[in-house]
Amino acid sequence: MIILYGIPNCDTVKKARTWLGDHGVDYQFHDFKKQGVPPEQLARWAQAAGWEKVLNRQGTTWRKLDAAAQAGVHDSASAQALMLANPSVIKRPVVDWGNGITVGFNAEAWAARV
């Protein structure tokens, strides 16, 4: 089962959900604002894609963090701690395809998977 992780009001997640629906892809949605992100799941994402890719440093949530919190992110462990405390700083969507993950929405890459 494909699992799309994100938050429902995110524009990129909305595009991703629309794309999956338009292509007849059956998936489960995991709202990590409401349901959280299990630490072991986040660790798998960081290992598979790299914590630098999973951590969204371009988003509003990151920009609203104080300089000390931003400076405190220097490795996978510190990035994961921040992402667990502030799930909105995770780049969205994260999709578990069953045979790997993708971070962010890329229609071309997704088309190759379905």
Out of 2, 10, 49, 65, the active site residue is 10
Q: Give dist(CA 114, CA 111) in Å, integer.
A: 5
**32 annotated active-site:** no
Catalytic annotation, residues = 10
